[in-house]
Amino acid sequence: MIMVGKNCLMKRMLPLILLMCGTALCARAETVKVPILFKINDPLTRFRTVGGGFAEDPEKYVWAFQINQLPELLKKDNLSFGYYSDTDNDPKTGLPPWDFMLNIRPKENKLSVLRIAGGKYRGYALYPDDYVIAAAGDMLYVALRKEVVKDQNFGRKFTMRLISNHSNSIPDKDGTIPSFWPDRKIDREKAFGTFEPMFNFQGFQSAALRLTKIPYAVKIGETEGYSIWNFCGEHFEENEKMPPVIAEEKILRVRAARGEWEAAHLAISAKKPFRTFKVLSGLLKKDSGEEFPPDALKIYYPGYATNAYGKNMTDVLYPVYRPSRSAHHFAVIDAHPPYNLPAGSYRGSLRLEINGKVIKTVIPFEIEVLDFTFPQVRSFKTACHVHPGYPGGGKAGHSLLHQWGFSTQLPYLDGKLTWGPKINIGSNPLLDFSLYDRFCRNFFQKKHQSVCVNTFFMLGSHGTMSKRHWVKTGRKKAIGTDPEADRNIARAAAEFRDYLKKNCWLDKFIFILWDEPYSSVYGDILNTAAIIRKAAPELILGIYIDATQPGLMRDNLIDVWMFPAVNALPNAWKYRQKGQKFWIYNQTGMGSLEYPAAVPRLFYWFAYHKKLDGMLYWCVNFLNKPGRKNGAYLIQATEFTWFYPDADDPQTVYPSLRLLMAREGLDDYEYFKALEKSKRDPSLLQAIGKQVRLDSKTGNMVYDVRSNYELQKIRENMIRQLEADR
């Protein structure tokens, strides 16, 4: 259900939504008999996969797995299964010994599919209506549309292997490295009966239930054969029709605080595509004659990117118009009122130059500068990793994020990232801050960054420990207790504390101790945290962790817990200790060009409502090579491409509509904080939590408002309340 208020978009769009859904919501039920292709007689080993099967029909493939105590296993936090298969019984065709993999997350109802061919990995793009995950007794069933993997063949003989992140394993002789249950060779013509209970297949979901925008337009006018409208930041396909008009506005308006970026979204529809297109802004003035600085106004032209489903959709914000096959032409007018600009309304107009000719139509345009000033350092802490090894990883990528209010994870200067001061083992002092100090002063004093998420003290990743920074040259790793490393860690912590304290930066550093640890290293984490706590209790310690660990949380040695997904939060809240802070990394609504524009914006509404303390993103430029297909930017890993490097000059970057919407959400957070300090009725702040919430069963985010137009109305209401307090 998409509820957006009394006079809501939902009510106006209901006939269209019902037309889109049709009768697809009434799925047919079907009982699927899946043959048993392997069976193990081991009823006692907890969570062991003791049976497997496979079936297909013209519509779908179905995998079946019998798992001991599956109902109990399904209660585990962060549960996931990995399925590995050699589909043609030939290890040479994939990366030995598999060529096909599934990642199954039943609690979140998420499936990902990976194929390996020619030594290369290929992920399939799945919609939620492409698969079904179901459990019945000790049976786990997975159904997948054949169409999605139509280039994948499953032979008569292949292998099956299923493990979970909670499966028991057989220890090796040294008792440390787990060996998972072996692959099972199966023959599809040799079955041992069918699994019970059978798979009650209710059909795939309707495509109408996908998290996509409800098409709409806000009409501005019609003239000279053109329709002029506000597209509200939504993404559009290249061949999409003009959406239904839900409202009319005679003027294009921006309302922004000093120091804020705020955008207006203009679309012009014609009978055929333009060869050239340009938006011209006239001088904007107050009634008193004061002018809005022209250099505080930027105009972008949304261009197309091709997503993993082969759809060309607007997302790339180019500084000049790039022709396409679409009859719709988009522009984003981005205003950034300077900190010293007087408040008030600056009025003027926009003109349109189409195919080299300025048309007669004038579009009224107004920028209202609010008597409210944004802080130079944003209230909500962000830490975006810009990878130096990928296109856009240089100055341009960092500068774009800084300008739009985001902090980057690490200090950047002179074309380099820095991880920390130089370590001189055996010297006194142990740390040399001379070069690092230049980076930090630029980062905090010039770039106004909010936080540095630092891996200087990070000891390892997953199940592997490495203390190589803290021991003598030549000693690569130290597993277990290492007195020399422990002494050096304590000295470094004290010296780092003294440096930060002298510069008043103690609250601006989070020191990560481990990256997504296995339970086998928890003791090492707590031991190191205790060493640092004793030597420098003022330092803030953090951890990247993909599951909730009550034992680690109860010790209260870790200050900042960074979870990869919001579905970890409900259980984490149960064990949260006083003073512990929660961050999310990744999963912030940037994952699809088909999402409504409201989705990346609403993450920050959710963060405020649920009192999250920050967001870390790794990484924002995860592209091997910029490329284009049919005039559109080719993008596969959407969620890791916040901006687009130029194909000819990878150090020139273009923003994205998704990044702009995330920026709007980050700015909304400032209005929430301002309202929090006001004396107004708190009901408006309480209401923001109704726009996005966590599903009680899956823990995933549910967006009860999917229209950026509706979010702008809520923002306007907040502004009116703030103005009433002045």
pLDDT digits (tens, 9 = 90+) for 333-375: 999 999 999 999 999 999 999 999 999 999 999 999 999 999 9
Tell me the one-letter amino acid at 656.
S
pLDDT category, 618, cuts 50, 70, 90? confident
Q: Is the pLDDT of residue 13 over 90?
A: no
Position 24 pLDDT exceeds 70: no
pLDDT at 495: 98
- What was the pLDDT predicted at 19? 31
Q: What is the pLDDT of residue 181?
A: 59
Q: Is the preceding omega at residue 293 within 30 degrees of 0, hence cis?
A: no
d(CA 140, CA 163): 12
Q: Does domain 381-666 have CATH number 3.20.20?
A: yes
CATH architecture assignment, domain 217-373 = Sandwich (2.60)
Percent of the chain whose pLDDT exceeds 90: 63
**Which pLDDT belongs to residue 385?**
96
Neighbours of 304 (CB within 10 A): 25
The CA distance from 87 to 99, in Å, is: 7
pLDDT band at 96 (very low <50, low <70, confident <90, very high): low
> What SS3 state is found at 465?
strand
Res. 468 pLDDT band, cuts 50 70 90: low
Assigned token pair, 452:
């540095």
pLDDT for residue 575 = 87
- 290-324 pLDDT, tens digit per residue, is 999 999 999 999 999 998 888 999 999 999 999 99
CA dist 171 and 164 (Å) reads 16
pLDDT digits (tens, 9 = 90+) for 174-215: 333 333 456 889 999 999 999 999 999 999 988 877 899 999
CA distance 368 to 345: 4
Confidence (pLDDT) at 668: 96
Q: How far apart are CA 345 and CA 477, in angstroms?
A: 63
Predicted confidence band at 648 (pLDDT cuts at 50, 70, 90)? confident
Q: Position of tokens 């998290």?
A: 211
pLDDT number for residue 476: 42
For residue 391 the two structure tokens come to 């296109």
Which of the pair, 76 or 57, is modelled with greater confidence?
Answer: 57
d(CA 475, CA 454): 23
Distance CA 461, CA 537 (A): 24
Sheet strand arrangement including 131-136? 36-39, 49-56, 60-67, 139-145, 131-136
Can you say whether the dihedral through the CA atoms of 57, 61, 67, 73 is positive or negative?
A: negative
Q: Which residue has the tokens 């060009």?
A: 593
Q: What is the pLDDT of residues 668-683, one digit of tens each?
A: 999 999 999 887 777 7
Which has more pLDDT, 495 or 16?
495
